[in-house]
């Protein structure tokens, strides 16, 4: 075996990874230069109050830790060939990276005890793949109106994903005092790896201040929630790259807007598209 060649291959691979991460860092710094920062010494809480902006609880100054992560989208058609979907196949529409399915039997969700009743459904291996990897995400679920929906997501070391590649969207219908699982749409990522050592993140308070000084929080609005979650920022061939992001929900005149702030760079990334590097 040519060990010198193997060493050279590993060297090139790691060198390429470092160049890629440096590119992410440089782009973050460029984005940061286009974001306004305030030199005011007045506390952000006071400035929000003057503009009639309300929020629940306190704006935390705690700096959590997170990672650059990579993950690979699960190919459900390959899972079908491997026999993993045998029990689900008759009820499912299987795409390459998405499953839409109707459960083979009835499952009910109790709004007063969502976690336990949802856990029963997630634990049914004959109705759902990888169900035990998902957790309820209250901030993005909806129990009002004609079409209630539960959002459950994967997580990594205590921080959930909030991304279309790692999500279980469960459509519900009213059934007396309960909610019946009508159908679900599922995506999943595997082979999750840390690309760098864990890093200190900007606090939720700093993220709110960044939005405020850049006029992203309207006067007389309400900050409904502030949630930290991983979101995809790059796709390189079969791998996706995720970073921690502050998701901040703001209600203004009855409309909900959700702003995204990169928790590693404290830059606004709302509505950013995901760059893709394809095979050549």
Query: If you average pLDDT over residues 86-91, what whole number do you get?
Result: 80
Among the candidates 176, 191, 206, a domain finishes at 191
The string of pLDDT tens digits covering residues 138-151 is 999 999 888 899 99
Model confidence band, residue 89 (pLDDT cutoffs 50, 70, 90): confident
The string of pLDDT tens digits covering residues 176-192 is 899 999 999 999 999 99
Q: Which residues contact 205 (CB under 8 A, 6 or more apart)?
A: 44, 59, 60, 61
Do residues 142 and 238 both lie within one domain? no
SS3 state of residue 27: helix
The per-residue pLDDT for 19 is 52
Do residues 170 and 32 both lie within one domain? no
The string of pLDDT tens digits covering residues 23-75 is 554 555 444 434 545 455 689 999 999 999 999 888 999 999 999 999 999 99
> What residues pair up with 228 in beta bridges, in sequence order?
246
Do residues 52 and 97 both lie within one domain? no
- Tokens coding 68: 């650059």
Residue among 67, 72, 70 at smallest CA distance from 190: 72
Model confidence band, residue 11 (pLDDT cutoffs 50, 70, 90): very low
What residues make up the domain containing 7? 3-68+195-277
The per-residue pLDDT for 18 is 54
The per-residue pLDDT for 30 is 46
Domain holding 8: CATH number? Answer: 2.40.128.690
Q: What are the backbone angles phi and psi of residue 130, rounded to the nearest 5°?
A: 55, 25
- Asked if pLDDT for residue 201 goes beyond 60, the answer is yes
SS3 state of residue 267: strand
pTM metric for this prediction: 0.84
Residue that is written with structure tokens 């305030």 in the block: 38
Judge contact between 76 and 94, C-beta under 8 A: yes
Do residues 16 and 31 both lie within one domain? yes
- Asked if pLDDT for residue 202 goes beyond 90, the answer is yes
Give the count of domains, the chain: 2
Provide the mean pLDDT of the chain: 86
Do residues 187 and 199 both lie within one domain? no
Cα–Cα distance measured from residue 231 to residue 246, given in angstroms and rounded to the nearest whole number: 9
Do residues 165 and 79 both lie within one domain? yes
- Name the helix (H) or strand (E) containing 223: strand 222-236
Higher pLDDT pick, 140 / 4: 140
Do residues 95 and 37 both lie within one domain? no
Domain holding 141: CATH number? Answer: 3.30.310
Cα–Cα distance measured from residue 73 to residue 83, given in angstroms and rounded to the nearest whole number: 18
Do residues 79 and 118 both lie within one domain? yes
Query: If you average pLDDT over residues 121-131, what whole number do you get?
Result: 89
The per-residue pLDDT for 2 is 57
Among the candidates 191, 211, 230, a domain finishes at 191
Query: If you average pLDDT over residues 196-222, what whole number do you get?
Result: 97
Residue that is written with structure tokens 């999750």 in the block: 192
Among the candidates 169, 191, 213, a domain finishes at 191
Do residues 18 and 35 both lie within one domain? yes
Do residues 239 and 103 both lie within one domain? no
> What residues pair up with 151 in beta bridges, in sequence order?
169
Do residues 55 and 83 both lie within one domain? no
Model confidence band, residue 16 (pLDDT cutoffs 50, 70, 90): low
Do residues 38 and 124 both lie within one domain? no
> What residues pair up with 232 in beta bridges, in sequence order?
242
Query: If you average pLDDT over residues 204-213, what whole number do you get?
Result: 98
- Asked if pLDDT for residue 279 goes beyond 60, the answer is no
């Amino acid at each position: 075996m040519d060990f010198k060649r193997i060493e050279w291959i590993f060297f090139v691979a790691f060198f390429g990874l470092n160049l890629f991460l440096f590119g992410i860092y440089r782009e973050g710094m460029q984005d940061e230069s286009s974001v306004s920062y305030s030199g005011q010494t007045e506390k952000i809480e006071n400035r929000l109050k003057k503009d009639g902006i309300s929020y629940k609880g306190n704006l935390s100054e705690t700096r959590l830790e997170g990672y650059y992560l990579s993950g690979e989208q699960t190919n459900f058609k390959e899972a079908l060939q491997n026999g993993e979907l045998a029990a689900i196949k008759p009820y499912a529409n299987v795409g390459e990276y998405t499953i839409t399915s109707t459960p083979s039997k009835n499952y009910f969700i109790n709004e007063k005890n969502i976690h336990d009743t949802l856990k029963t459904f997630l634990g049914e291996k004959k109705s759902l793949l990888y169900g035990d990897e998902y957790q309820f995400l209250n901030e993005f679920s909806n129990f009002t109106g004609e079409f209630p929906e539960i959002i459950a997501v994967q997580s990594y070391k205590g921080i959930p994903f909030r991304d279309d590649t790692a999500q279980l969207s469960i459509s519900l219908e009213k059934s007396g005092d309960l909610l019946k699982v009508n159908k679900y749409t599922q995506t999943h990522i595997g082979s999750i790896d840390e690309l760098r050592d864990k890093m200190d993140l900007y606090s939720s308070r700093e993220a709110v201040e960044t939005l405020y000084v850049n006029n992203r929080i309207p006067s007389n609005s309400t900050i409904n929630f502030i949630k930290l979650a991983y979101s995809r920022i790059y796709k390189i061939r079969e791998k996706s790259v995720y970073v921690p992001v502050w998701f901040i929900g703001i209600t203004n005149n009855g409309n909900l807007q959700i702003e995204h702030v990169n928790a590693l760079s404290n830059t606004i990334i709302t509505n950013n598209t995901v760059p893709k590097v394809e095979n050549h």
